[in-house]
Structure 1
Amino acid sequence: MSADADSQVIFIPRAERHKKKKRKRSYLFVLLLVIVFVVVVVLSRTMTIDQTNQTNSFLATNLEGSTKMIIQKQANGLEKRFQVKEDQKESNKEEEQETVEKDENEDIHSAVTSDEVNEAEEVVESSEKNEQMEAITADFVLEHKVKKQETLFSITMLYYASGEYQKKVQAYNGITNPEREIMEGITLQIPDPHYMVVHKVDRGESLLSISKKYYGTEDYAGSLAQYNEIKNPNHLPYDTLLHIPNPSSLQRNVPIFQSSPEKPSYRIVINKKSNQLTVYDGNSPIKSFAVGTGKDVSKTPEGEFKIINKIEKPWYRAQEIPGGDPNNPLGSHWLGLNVPGTDGTIYGIHGTNDPSTIGKYVSLGCIRMNNSDVEWLYNNLPLGTSVRIINK
């Protein structure tokens, strides 16, 4: 068989062909792995990018919200600052306005003239004077016409025997300057004077009790009788008018009655145990009377006393029974005793409307007698007569 060299068929062994196929397969497999790897890598990157984008988007969203909140807070803060500044401005304006008004008021106040100030002070003084006058009240007011050379002090001494009452008289009369306003001829109102008054004798009163009431002592009783020209100090009917002078015009310890040589000096002794009243002339008994004394031994006081008032037809105050009434338990006459703590109207020697009680222990403390007996005492015993009460 003939043939050209170029056209000759080249025979390749089977094993070699198998190797070549196997080699191609290996290349394809490697290529496939490379492609798979590339695809995996690409997919991984894609997923990573997506996640990154999502994360970035989320972060961007949150960042945007936070930024908005921060911006809002900053805006609110700025608004508050602006509001505070506005408030401060308004407050400053108000303070400035108040300061201006205060200054204006001070200017107006300082603009008041001295004449207006003096007028206001006079009004206040007048108001205070009126209030002071209204505060002073009096139960009795006496008018005094000022004499030459009299002063507020001498006038108060006349009516009160004390200069401490000058302010009272001054205020009551609305006087501000006594040295200028008190002059001869003017009339002053004297509120509740202590002296230079007229006293109306009440039931049971005597010169001794009246002296003690106005002067604080019985020492002026005799002088008071002389001043009022009382002829019989032993008999001082109620409703008698007595002038009560300043004590400087009276003498102390003037005898309340003038004893005469022909009149005896009496004294009384009352014995509660025997219920007997004995009248002594010096040391000699001249009269003896049965009496009734306290229902209890302690009710009729014991000791040395004096007769300080004498009343004809005495009233019985406990039941308002008038004197002279047949039902009056005090009877026809009363001789009051100066038992300590009393004024001659509590304990005394008196008559009775029940003669059966004489000689018994029946009274509330007084000494009761038959009306005829007590009348003898009334007519013969002067004020100041000593009365001794014993129990033996």
Structure 2
Amino acid sequence: MTIDRRRFLGGAMAAAGSGLLAGCASTQNAALVQPLRPVSREYAAMYGAIDTEPFPIPAVDLAEIEPRFLRREVTFRTTEQPGTIVVDPAARYAYLVLERGRAMRYGVGVGKEEGFNFRGSAVIARKAEWPRWTPTLNMIRREPERYGKYAQGLPGGPENPLGPRALYLYRDGQDTYYRLHGTDEPATIGTMVSSGCIRLINQDIIDLYRRVPVGTKVVVLSAGGDATS
């Protein structure tokens, strides 16, 4: 039987609002989606094309992304202070802690192998718009044919894998070489795909970027749900 695509997506989004599509939550940081959710028309506007940037940002095809990974405000229980970013790689979410037990939740893509992922606490020591990207030496060693040609770096732009914004994580004053950044592959949100960085939909990283200053604390949970360094 053929199912009308719009009716299917609408049902999926309604299910997400009722918690049927909610992701895993740790014992220390648990989120519950609020019962009322924006309608799909609002999501279409939220993830529409942006033409006010140095480079155009296309609209997101929402059919490519599970509804639960779209940006929304949720109830969030945590001991972290408002303004902190909490990343739960297992659930594929990043939370910006708000006041009164709330958080802005974003779907993310994480490292394709557990060993690639950063764990513990860091701070955002630098922010950049349309950042330059240079693969790490380890990336070049692992995949020289893929990354070797970019050893001198790639300027910001539509082909840059960091997207329109990047938040640089430092620990004890040292660059961890992990970032929260955008992506030109929104369909990968919710998957294990990156070389360790936390990737967000371009419209979402722009939203997060404007909400957080340099010095913001970032906590990346382990697979067990804690933030052990």
TM-score when normalising by structure 1: 0.31
**C-alpha contact 2:122 2:170 (8 A) present in aligned 1:** yes
5 Å matches for 1:23-38?
A: none
Q: Of residues 337, 360, 385 in structure 1, which corresponds to 2:169?
A: 337
Who is 1:322 aligned against? 155
Q: In the alignment, is residue 373 of structure 1 matched against residue 204 of structure 2?
A: yes
**C-alpha contact 2:85 2:95 (8 A) present in aligned 1:** yes
For residues 167 and 220 of structure 2, the distance between their equivalents in structure 1, rounded to whole angstroms, comes to: 14
5 Å matches for 1:91-130?
A: none
**C-alpha contact 1:339 1:347 (8 A) present in aligned 2:** no
Who is 2:107 aligned against? 290
**Sequence identity percentage:** 35
5 Å matches for 1:11-90?
A: none
What number of residue pairs does the alignment pair up? Answer: 127
Unpaired runs of 5+ in structure 2?
Answer: 1-80, 136-149
Distance 1:384 1:282, change over 3 A: farther
For residues 89 and 196 of structure 2, the distance between their equivalents in structure 1, rounded to whole angstroms, comes to: 11
Q: Which has the higher contact order (CA 8 A, sep 6+)?
A: 2
Matched residue SS, 1:298: helix
Q: Of residues 193, 212, 219 in structure 2, which corresponds to 1:388?
A: 219
Distance 1:301 1:334, change over 3 A: same
Who is 1:312 aligned against? 129
Who is 2:83 aligned against? 266
State the Cα distance separating 1:283 from its structure 2 match. 5.9
**C-alpha contact 2:128 2:167 (8 A) present in aligned 1:** yes
Residue identity matched to 2:213: P
State the Cα distance separating 1:284 from its structure 2 match. 2.1
State the Cα distance separating 1:343 from its structure 2 match. 2.1
For residues 294 and 357 of structure 1, the distance between their equivalents in structure 2, rounded to whole angstroms, comes to: 11
Structure 1 or 2, whichever has the larger Rg, is: 1
For residues 103 and 95 of structure 2, the distance between their equivalents in structure 1, rounded to whole angstroms, comes to: 8
For residues 278 and 265 of structure 1, the distance between their equivalents in structure 2, rounded to whole angstroms, comes to: 10
Q: Of residues 170, 173, 194 in structure 2, which corresponds to 1:363?
A: 194
**TM-align CA RMSD:** 1.9
Unpaired runs of 5+ in structure 1?
Answer: 1-263
Q: In the alignment, is residue 280 of structure 1 matched against residue 113 of structure 2?
A: no
Residue identity matched to 2:96: V
TM-score when normalising by structure 2: 0.52
State the Cα distance separating 1:339 from its structure 2 match. 3.7
Q: Which aligned segments of 4 or more residues in structure 1 are displaced greater than 4 angstroms?
A: none
For residues 276 and 347 of structure 1, the distance between their equivalents in structure 2, rounded to whole angstroms, comes to: 16
**C-alpha contact 1:307 1:384 (8 A) present in aligned 2:** yes
From the two aligned structures, give the one with the greater helix fraction: 1
**C-alpha contact 1:350 1:368 (8 A) present in aligned 2:** yes
State the Cα distance separating 1:360 from its structure 2 match. 0.6
Matched residue SS, 1:352: coil
Residue identity matched to 1:378: Y
Residue identity matched to 2:164: S
Q: Give CA-to-partner distance per residue, 1:175-215, whole Å, 9 cap, x none.
A: xxxxxxxxxxxxxxxxxxxxxxxxxxxxxxxxxxxxxxxxx
